[in-house]
Amino acid sequence: MKTKTLITAAAAVMMAAAPAMADLFVPSLTYRSGPYAANGIPTADGYKDYFTLLNERDGGIGGVKVEFEECETGYNTEKGVECYEALKSKSPLAIHPWSTGITYQLIPKATADGIPVHSVGYGRTSAKNGEVFRWVFNYPANYWDGASVAISHILDQEGGDLSGKKVALVYHNSAFGKEPIRTLEELGKIHGYELSLLPVDHPGQEQKSQWLQIRRERPDYVIMWGWGVMNQVAIQEAVNIRFPMDHFIGIWWSGSENDVKPAGDGANGYKALTFNGLEKDYPIFDDIQKHVVDKGLAAGAGDQIGTVLYMRGLYSALMTAEAIKKAQEIHGTPDVTPAMVRDGYEALDITQETYAALGLPGFGPDIQGSCQNHGGQGLGAVSQWDAAAGQFKLITDYIQSNQDVIAPLIAADSEAFAAENNITPNCD
Amino acid sequence: MPDQLLFGMEVFLNGLMAGVLYALVALGFVLIYKASGIFNYAQGVMALFAAMTLVGIMEGRVPFSHLINAVFGSNVHHFGWHLPAVVGIVLTVGVMVLLAWLVNALIMKHLVNQEPIILFMATIGLAYFMEGLGDLMWGADIKKLDVGLPQGINGTIDQITFDAFGYGFFIDNLDIWATIIAIVLVASLMVFSQYTKQGRALRAVADDHQAALSVGISLNFIWVLVWSIAGFVALVAGIMWGAKSGVQFSLSLIALKALPVLMLGGFTSIPGAIVGGLIIGVGEKMFEFAIGPMVGGATENWFAYVLALLFLVFRPQGLFGEKIIERV
């Protein structure tokens, strides 16, 4: 008995003395409650399930387990900042704020703390300029890319000529909703279409005035920059006035099943941008079923797998995991720090081979990052709602946004930010 | 006829229809305030809860299924039935009556004679509790609500106005139904309060609690009754708004649309809620139509409050509210 006790004590001492391999801490600011919970739940589930899959199937990333923690924000900016403050002492390798408002608040804080912030297709567009926004990333595309991709698709529909056409932008009357205006105005000068602006006040439950105006003015196309209930009401109103749904295009945050299902069959043909694939038979689903769902480890109720927003959450986790892998490669250690992960993000190199190897063939555009480019190549695709199948389907390849227009806008905005905040653009 | 005049007429009519929807929400506030002096912060959440319950019952969803499955490792989500809307509505009314009884038994009964601010704060707590309860019972997903009401442009009005003016007016069938239902609802409430024993008792309590108690009217019963009626009105509002946007959390925010209506129409008058709703609906739509384009649009939310405040300057108790006289 005495010997056994001694052996146990010795083992305990040895374990305590051995260098502990810290987990890779990747928290998530989620909103499973509140007005946007219907969107927040699938996104958070996809994000968490991907890391659970890596832990269960691969033993983590580079042999180190991922430690995951959610902090509930309710999509409230103040709570988001509180979450960040509570989590930052644990050295998170990356923060996904899941809200443009929270992202804006975290940009100066995370920059001071040296923690990478990744706003996937939302947040501050000009953060693409990595020389100014050293700790902020917005792969794989930003709002200005989205506006340009929408116009490119309309150009394609109209045989390359938009002169004399009318395009209406129905947008959430907030910083988020106003993002595409400048880009659409610039593109209007080039392509000759007339742009009309129709703001909708938060939360967007009452849009009769806007859609009566659309009915009167009969624009050729309507582009929507909406979120939450605004999307469902806008699509229902478009159905009510019999606006042709294939001439109605939403940003990627206006294109989930949640947005179209309340309008029923009338929403058939509605289009939305996307920066990720929407297939229902990716090989990764088998792994998720086997290693996550069947083990009872699925996030939430496990009923969101394969939905648009679930896949977007999963894609976000995938990019972060690839950045961590890249950081491990660059620095030759599995125990990476937030600063190393920033290097990983800047060296991000996701190709079609990468997607295929991860069980997601053709899932997204190629992404090549650099110090200067924190936002990717600016590619987006168009999806269309098939009401009978109950599914959004990709109807285009990935379309290159007009960087001749967007790059100068990003340069101007980021330089203005740098001047305001005494930042010298650099790659140190 | 000039195009702008035609468009203005179309906007005016749509404003009236929108006003009816606002009034439906405001009615619930008025009923409870009139009977008990409580400003029920939870009225918007009651509309959400009622609509969620209706969809849940109609679709045969198992309440608390996520919780049950998480605790017992089961996988139950549906009972396997799909009930007609009428049955669903009747059962949902039952749930709202049960809720009214619980609210009275667990909260209001214990707060008799407390300051109005205490009662108001209790309803804030109730609102947050019901938000969570609704999500836990039925899930936070956006639910399609289909009780068979037609939606979309009314072809007859479109045709008649086109023949008359060369421009077909857009009037949503759902709005027309909302108007008919609101008229029936208000008429029923009037008949109930004027010609039934319970209705007269309710009016007596509204006039003077102490006097009503002294003649043997049960305050508890009246409060359960009035919360039940408010729950029914919330269900009607939830159906109308939920048909537009799907049943989702944001339904609870329709209360924001009722506030300017209450300020304008008064907190104690059912006709005030109706007239206030119509004035706000028409006012905000016409302002957006005429002035909105000059100031960048999106004026409706704030203009409704400006309009209500303008009325308040001249009639602090609202158009139909009771004048408060306090003797020192």
* Smallest CA–CA distance from A173 into chain B, residue: B298
Judged against a pLDDT cut of 50, whether residue B145 lies above it is answered with yes
Judged against a pLDDT cut of 90, whether residue B43 lies above it is answered with yes
Nearest to B229 by CA among B190, B260, B281: B190
Looking up tokens 């989205």 gives A146
Tokens found for residue B193: 């309060």
A143-274 shares the fold of A24-141+279-373? yes
A21: left (phi over 0), alpha (psi -120 to 50) or beta: beta
Judged against a pLDDT cut of 70, whether residue B79 lies above it is answered with yes
- Domains in chain B, start-ordered, CATH in brackets? 3-314 (1.10.3470)
Architecture (CATH level 2) of domain A24-141+279-373 = 3-Layer(aba) Sandwich (3.40)
> Out of B66, B142, B292, whose CB is closest to A262?
B142
Which pLDDT score, from 0 to 100, does residue A20 have?
Answer: 47
A:77-106 residues touching chain B, CB 8 A cutoff: none
Largest Cα–Cα separation, chain A: 93
Region B28-37 average pLDDT: 88
Per-residue pLDDT reduced to its tens digit, A100-148: 999 999 999 999 999 999 999 999 999 999 999 999 999 999 999 999 9
Region A258-275 average pLDDT: 96
Contacts of A141 (CB under 8 A, 6+ apart): A121, A149, A275, A365, A375, A376, A378, A379, A380, A401
Nearest to A309 by CA among A227, A397, A395, A200: A227
Average pLDDT, chain A: 94
Is residue B144 less than 8 Å (CB to CB) from chain A? yes
SS3 A70: strand
| B248/A38 CB distance under 8 A | yes
- From residue A394, alpha-carbon distances to A123, A314, A364, A383 in Å are 24, 18, 11, 4
Judged against a pLDDT cut of 60, whether residue B151 lies above it is answered with yes
Report the alpha-carbon distance of residue B25 to residue B47 in Å, rounded.
8
Q: How confident is the model at residue B66 (pLDDT cuts 50, 70, 90)?
A: confident
Judged against a pLDDT cut of 90, whether residue B324 lies above it is answered with no
Per-residue pLDDT reduced to its tens digit, A230-253: 999 999 999 999 999 999 999 999
CATH of span A143-274? 3.40.50.2300
Per-residue pLDDT reduced to its tens digit, B257-313: 899 999 999 888 888 999 999 999 999 999 999 999 999 888 988 999 999 999 888
Region A67-84 average pLDDT: 96
Tokens found for residue A358: 């991860």
Report the alpha-carbon distance of residue A330 to residue A334 in Å, rounded.
10
Judged against a pLDDT cut of 90, whether residue B193 lies above it is answered with no
From B18's Cα to the closest Cα of chain A, the distance in A is: 8
Is residue B220 less than 8 Å (CB to CB) from chain A? no
In chain B, what percentage of residues exceed pLDDT 70?
98
Is residue A264 less than 8 Å (CB to CB) from chain B? yes
Which pLDDT score, from 0 to 100, does residue A1 have?
Answer: 45
The domain spans of chain A are 24-141+279-373, 143-274
| B301/A201 CB distance under 8 A | yes
Report the alpha-carbon distance of residue A104 to residue A413 in Å, rounded.
14
Which pLDDT score, from 0 to 100, does residue B312 have?
Answer: 86
* Neighbouring-strand partners of residue A66: A24
Judged against a pLDDT cut of 60, whether residue B56 lies above it is answered with yes
The complex's ipTM works out to 0.91
Which pLDDT score, from 0 to 100, does residue A16 have?
Answer: 46
B316 versus B328: the higher-pLDDT residue is B316
Contacts of B296 (CB under 8 A, 6+ apart): A197, A199
Strands A379-386 and A399-400, bridge-based pairing: antiparallel
> Out of A173, A232, A240, whose CB is closest to B246?
A232
CA dihedral (A153, A154, A160, A163) in degrees, to 10, reads -150
Which pLDDT score, from 0 to 100, does residue B231 have?
Answer: 96
A:166-225 residues touching chain B, CB 8 A cutoff: 173, 197-203, 205-206, 208-210, 212, 215-216
In chain A, what percentage of residues exceed pLDDT 70?
95
Tally A–B CB contacts below 8 A.
108
Per-residue pLDDT reduced to its tens digit, A307-356: 999 999 999 999 999 999 999 999 999 999 999 999 999 999 999 999 99
Which pLDDT score, from 0 to 100, does residue A21 have?
Answer: 53
SS3 A99: coil
Tokens found for residue A316: 């976000």
Region B165-186 average pLDDT: 94
Per-residue pLDDT reduced to its tens digit, A351-397: 999 999 999 999 999 999 999 999 999 999 999 999 999 999 999 99
Chain B hits for A198, Cβ within 8 Å = 297
Chain B hits for A258, Cβ within 8 Å = 141-142, 246
* Smallest CA–CA distance from B254 into chain A, residue: A205
Asked whether A139 and A120 are in contact (CB, 8 A), the reply is yes
A88 versus A34: the higher-pLDDT residue is A88
Which pLDDT score, from 0 to 100, does residue A316 have?
Answer: 98
Which pLDDT score, from 0 to 100, does residue B325 have?
Answer: 66
Interface test with B, best of A31, A215, A240 (most B CBs within 10 A): A240
Which pLDDT score, from 0 to 100, does residue A388 have?
Answer: 97
Q: How confident is the model at residue A18 (pLDDT cuts 50, 70, 90)?
A: very low
Chain A hits for B134, Cβ within 8 Å = none
Interface test with B, best of A171, A205, A211 (most B CBs within 10 A): A205
Judged against a pLDDT cut of 90, whether residue A305 lies above it is answered with yes
| B245/A233 CB distance under 8 A | yes
Is residue A114 less than 8 Å (CB to CB) from chain B? no
Q: How confident is the model at residue A14 (pLDDT cuts 50, 70, 90)?
A: very low
Report the alpha-carbon distance of residue A197 to residue A252 in Å, rounded.
19
In chain B, what percentage of residues exceed pLDDT 90?
71
> Out of A201, A212, A296, whose CB is closest to B10?
A212
| A206/B257 CB distance under 8 A | yes
* Smallest CA–CA distance from A295 into chain B, residue: B73
Report the alpha-carbon distance of residue B217 to residue B171 in Å, rounded.
46
Which pLDDT score, from 0 to 100, does residue A7 have?
Answer: 53
Judged against a pLDDT cut of 50, whether residue A214 lies above it is answered with yes
From B227's Cα to the closest Cα of chain A, the distance in A is: 25
Q: How far apart are the first and last CA of chain B?
A: 59
Judged against a pLDDT cut of 70, whether residue A159 lies above it is answered with yes
Is residue A236 less than 8 Å (CB to CB) from chain B? yes
Chain B hits for A206, Cβ within 8 Å = 18, 257, 300
